A and B are shown apart, each in its own frame.
Chain A
């Protein structure tokens, strides 16, 4: 966007627009907003009380379009709208559906949360500092017919309550991503975070696609690190499993003892609260088999199923582990 390159504020232009605007003008990339009017809302005809407001916003946008290259102040986080194609891909990659609450941090003109509600059936929360962008977002939401399913909060994104979101969308500069990362890692395991262009550096995305831009998905991993114990009810004898995980984001490695004997752990993986790994069971040396573990990490317990053997010999058993030390 051209707007964010300007450093100086053209007070004359601001005054002019301030007169035209029925609300306080406080500086933002209005030029960007006006020129991004391609945001493809399936606009419902304006009726009733919203028509007045719609007219006001429409007039405002028309005035902006007429004002060439409106000057910009330097902003802490610039407003650069995400292309609609990329918005669509972010929500698709995060598998957004009707049971999701999508929170966009730095929601700009509201396009991500509005698209999430209108096209994906989700609920949406936009967090934005700029009150004018919030007013425009609400108007867009009304025109899209999703005003009842989206909320816009005038708030610093670092102060927002992220706990109700199942999906968080971001398009923020690397420094802001870095600052946000520790908070995101404390969210409920399984929370999806989707961003484009900028990533979380050493926290590798779980999935990545390229549709015009690089779009990346992270799934907040459960805390699996520590020592765990489980009794495995696998005939003919119950087996005692001790397993220790080390964890770096979703990447885990493990070492284990099965009935007191060192056993190697293979293919360990964590996705949200879903954990899987394979242990070679040599308890009976004449009947070795792989144990395929799957489970969910819920606080200090892991619960799931373990399969022994493959093909016709495959049998599954429930298993449950307790964390004995962090």
Chain B
């Protein structure tokens, strides 16, 4: 890594490099030693790539967890017109970040909070960026899934989440992983759709592993699989084959209901109709 930091920081960067190598080796043995993440600043290129991969724009609120000297939050405000929030546990770095923001002329659009990323209130974020060691990334996962709104994007630099497939990935000098927080589609739903053959009621059921869905509908005497079922934030898509044609469902999951349009039949002029599903009370039996 090229160090663009002040000379005093080069020593820290080298030490951190050694820690990173060690943590990497340990991770392959499925063990996560809990070392505090050292301050190792992302290069300007890596900062750009994280914000680019997340598609950051003026309507975004970018939270950088472990914001160091503030460069990600500042770049989000200065280069992408977003608002930036940095969470940093080192009080000295928080002070530095505020000074950097003033100099960059974005002090009114960025905010730095002195605190632990695990304790921070991140609910307002539309984008979360992080460059943290694997154990902390894993600890943050349930928190982010619970507190972020469906559709919020998480960009991880070097260390991604285990078991959660990134929605997109880029390898430009380093690995960058983009995750879109999925809505909750797991469970049973009562689906009503106007199809070309008439109005249909189906009992729809999904298993969910992050954004990946598996499931289908019960019909008298059988089960129709939901093909190509996927979630991207609150957007859901799946395909049912019934009456000898494909029905492509697209819609949004909003709490206990989802609704959208269904395109039936092939080609340029499919029949387009509305569908709606409501969640059937969860029973664990």
Are A264 and B266 within 8 A (Cβ)? no
Chain B, Cβ-Cβ closest to A279:
B172
A92-B172 in contact given A85-B244, A85-B246, A211-B228 (Cβ < 8 Å)? no
Tell me which of A61-69, A114-122, A162-170 binds B.
A114-122
Picked from B48, B171, B246, the residue with its CB within 8 Å of the CB of A88 is B246
Chain B residues with CB below 8 A from A288, complex form: 2, 43-45
Are A266 and B80 within 8 A (Cβ)? no
Picked from B79, B227, B269, the residue with its CB within 8 Å of the CB of A211 is B227
Chain A residues with CB below 8 A from B271, complex form: none
Alpha-carbon gap, A311 to B239, bound state (A): 37
Are B244 and A97 within 8 A (Cβ)? no
Residue-wise interface mask of A (92-128) relative to B, using a CB-CB cutoff of 8 A (1 in contact, 0 not): 1000011000000000000000010011110000000
Alpha-carbon gap, A120 to B80, bound state (A): 41
| A290 on interface, CB distance cutoff 8 Å | yes
Alpha-carbon gap, A280 to B171, bound state (A): 12
A252: min CB distance to chain B, Å:
14
Are B228 and A212 within 8 A (Cβ)? no
Segment 310-326 of A: residues with Cβ below 8 Å from B: 310-313
A35: min CB distance to chain B, Å:
15
Are B171 and A210 within 8 A (Cβ)? no
Interface of B is mostly: mixed
Question: Which positions in B face A, CB cutoff 8 Å?
Answer: 2, 43-45, 48-49, 51-52, 75, 78-81, 170-173, 227-228, 239, 241, 244-246, 265-269
Count, chain A residues at interface, CB 8 A: 33
A210-B227 in contact given A91-B267, A312-B78 (Cβ < 8 Å)? yes
| A278 on interface, CB distance cutoff 8 Å | yes
Q: A88-B265, A266-B171 are in contact. List 15 more A-B contacts (CB 8 A).
A: A84-B245, A85-B245, A88-B267, A119-B265, A119-B268, A120-B268, A209-B228, A212-B227, A280-B45, A288-B2, A289-B48, A290-B45, A311-B51, A311-B75, A311-B79
Chain B, Cβ-Cβ closest to A266:
B172
A-B contact pairs, 14 of them (CB 8 A): A88-B246, A118-B267, A119-B265, A212-B227, A266-B173, A280-B45, A280-B172, A290-B48, A290-B172, A309-B48, A310-B51, A310-B52, A311-B75, A312-B81
Are B49 and A290 within 8 A (Cβ)? yes
A267-B227 in contact given A85-B244, A92-B266 (Cβ < 8 Å)? no
| A89 on interface, CB distance cutoff 8 Å | yes
| A40 on interface, CB distance cutoff 8 Å | yes
Alpha-carbon gap, A212 to B226, bound state (A): 10
Chain B, Cβ-Cβ closest to A309:
B48
| A38 on interface, CB distance cutoff 8 Å | yes
Alpha-carbon gap, A266 to B172, bound state (A): 5
Alpha-carbon gap, A275 to B269, bound state (A): 33
Chain A residues with CB below 8 A from B228, complex form: 209-211
B250: min CB distance to chain A, Å:
14
